[in-house]
Structure 1
Amino acid sequence: MTTQDQPVVDADGTFREPVVVRTRDELRAARAALPGKEIAVVMTMGALHEGHATLIQQAREGADHVIVTIFLNPLQFGPKEDLSRYPRTFDADLEICRRDGADIVFAPSPDVVYPEGDPGVRVSAGPLGAVLEGQSRPGHFDGMLTVVGKLMHLTGGTRFLFGQKDAQQLLLIRRMVRDLDFPAKVVSVPTVREDDGLAMSSRNMYLTPSDREVALSLSRALRAGAGAAPEGPSAIRRAARAVLVAEPLVLVDYLVLVHPTSLRDVPEWYRGEALLAVAGKVGTTRLIDNTPVLVGPGGGALDVFSDPDAAPATGVM
């Protein structure tokens, strides 16, 4: 699995092994060799796990070919975040790509993605990027949208798959695609969890065994909140909060029940789909998790939102 200018393609149009490309020219040549029209793209920062594998598998099912990008984007890290601490596991990442059917792995260096250094023009996340995660990580979503936009153009994909676990990121990518008329389809994939309920994340490798036990309170809080969904917003918040209060070793950043497209708190009278999201620090590791919920009679947890491209609600929403 080495870098090639002209990848070897089987008779059925699939590569025998993932072709690793690192420059724009190599990507362009490998992309041109793909005979199919539907190209699905999975974007990652490396340190792949089974959550990423699920994205690749689902991409494989709905497209002729799959491109996986592995790029540790420096624009997404703030001054208080340690870029050098992020795990780098390229050989293991490549094995997951091979196992689950990626055709091309685009693994550029920063000077390939940003040939002139720090880009003078970036995509702004706007007000939706300044709340929740954006409040804790100023500038993070501007950096994320900038690189996602660039990778959409560079890969030439038709479908782009993102996990529901990063709900705010997913919302902002959808808004960018819609607001800026990107010719792309964004597909959301349900959060993949460990057997004990912990949402899969590259950050989980930082957790000690005792930290991991504490971290389970985040997913337990979400389940408790979703279980109270038929009773309304106050019951959801109360049930989720009770779980977190019982675990003092979690330093909670936020626990919110918000509208899925405006990210504004839903009022007590609200019935419909909402996002129950939590963020907190366990030991030295900051974790996020969420679950879409249907609020009101017959409600409960959802895998993904039914109409993610709907326009944001108005008024109190």
Structure 2
Amino acid sequence: MKLVKTRQELADIVTQWHRAGETIGVVPTMGSLHAGHLALVKALDGKATRRIVTIFVNPIQFNNPDDFHLYPRGLEADAALLEETGGVDILYAPDETQIYAPGFSTRVVVSGLDAMLCGGDRPGHFDGVATIVTKLFMQTRADIAAFGEKDFQQLCIVRRLVQDLDLPVSILPVPTVREADQLALSSRNRRLTPVQRARAAHLPASLHTCIAELKAGKNSETCLKTCWQDLEEAGFTVHYLELRSSKNLQATQPSDPSARLFVAASLGDVRLIDNMPLC
């Protein structure tokens, strides 16, 4: 695996790969890698002959500066983890000068999908996501990109921007990877105290209970209210808990085959998200 830090060096390598007829897969990340990221790399098996993992903590997708500064970083550890897989050709880890030149003033906005769920209490977040993803697609010239379903709204936004901008990259969704207690893997989990980490397992457990009740035909409004209260009693601050279509993220009913339950809830200053399909 080669560590690349400049877009020019990346461009030189990628140009050679394309001339040789290689297929390039990319996994965009913000580092602090875990088994969920490795699952994204693994998902490219048989779909790409060359694989790039990018690490860039993107400042313009953080509406809270403290959250940006607290985001866990560790390039050496991340590089060692990727090296162990034997399946990554390039770790692209640019600094901010390689992404946002002085005077940078362009934003990619995916209207509509950005205003709900996480977009509701994180204004500008998805503009930052869409902008960096577009730039990374252009810099890596990837043919296929893997994204986890844990960040399902992000996945929907990336799919829409690729479709709307005619970007020549296929989006590969990858199922959420979970701990033994079903907590969705996330870099943010490392910021949880031991007590908070134990409580965090209540989040997926509450979702499973809510989904079981919804599938049993119970009133959806009552089920969601009960789940919300259950999470609050467990120590969470709930930001949203909603039933949405996985096709377009519009509000829906349990009878919809595409229905998913979406949640964002915090323990202290650590914000956790999750989603689960009803079917």
Coarse TM-score class (shorter-chain normalised) = over 0.9
Q: Contact 2:59–2:68 at 8 Å: present in 1 too?
A: yes
- Aligned match for 1:113, one of 76, 99, 102: 99
Q: Contact 2:5–2:92 at 8 Å: present in 1 too?
A: yes
State the distance in 2 between where 1:132 and 1:246 align.
20
**Which stretch of the first structure deviates more once superposed, 252-261 or 169-178?**
252-261
- Aligned match for 1:195, one of 167, 180, 190: 180
Q: Specify the alignment match of 1:221 in structure 2.
A: 206
Q: Specify the alignment match of 1:9 in structure 2.
A: none
Q: Specify the alignment match of 2:226 in structure 1.
A: 242
Q: Specify the alignment match of 1:31 in structure 2.
A: 14
Where in structure 2 are the equivalents of 1:75-94 lying within 5 Å?
A: 75-79=60-64, 81-94=66-79
State the distance in 2 between where 1:80 and 1:152 align.
26
SS of alignment partner, residue 201 of structure 2 = helix
* 1:82 positional shift: 2.9
Letter in 2 for 1:109: D
Where in structure 2 are the equivalents of 1:42-61 lying within 5 Å?
A: 42-61=27-46
- Aligned match for 1:262, one of 244, 248, 267: 248
Q: Contact 2:243–2:253 at 8 Å: present in 1 too?
A: no
Is the alpha carbon distance of 1:277 and 1:233 closer, same or farther for their aligned partners in structure 2, counting shifts above 3 Å? farther
- Aligned match for 1:158, one of 138, 143, 148: 143
SS of alignment partner, residue 60 of structure 1 = coil
The structure that is helix-richer by fraction is 2
Normalization by structure 1: what TM-score? 0.81
Q: Contact 2:224–2:242 at 8 Å: present in 1 too?
A: no
Normalization by structure 2: what TM-score? 0.92
Q: Contact 2:245–2:256 at 8 Å: present in 1 too?
A: no
Q: Specify the alignment match of 1:102 in structure 2.
A: 88
Q: Contact 2:176–2:184 at 8 Å: present in 1 too?
A: yes
Letter in 2 for 1:31: V
Q: Specify the alignment match of 1:206 in structure 2.
A: 191
* 1:194 positional shift: 0.6
Q: Specify the alignment match of 1:19 in structure 2.
A: 2
Is the alpha carbon distance of 1:126 and 1:143 closer, same or farther for their aligned partners in structure 2, counting shifts above 3 Å? same
- Where do 5+ consecutive residues of structure 2 fail to align? none
Is the alpha carbon distance of 1:241 and 1:194 closer, same or farther for their aligned partners in structure 2, counting shifts above 3 Å? farther
Q: Deviations over 1:1-40 (max 9, x none)?
A: xxxxxxxxxxxxxxxxx11111111101222343443211
Q: Contact 2:107–2:127 at 8 Å: present in 1 too?
A: yes
SS of alignment partner, residue 260 of structure 2 = strand
* 1:243 positional shift: 4.4
Q: Deviations over 1:64-122 (max 9, x none)?
A: 110110111111111454321111111111112212211011100111111224x3121
SS of alignment partner, residue 206 of structure 2 = helix
**Which stretch of the first structure deviates more once superposed, 271-280 or 133-142?**
271-280
Paired-residue identity, %: 40
Q: Deviations over 1:171-229 (max 9, x none)?
A: 00001011111111001000000111110000001111111122112111221233235
State the distance in 2 between where 1:93 and 1:132 align.
30
Q: How many residues align?
A: 274
Q: Specify the alignment match of 2:278 in structure 1.
A: 293
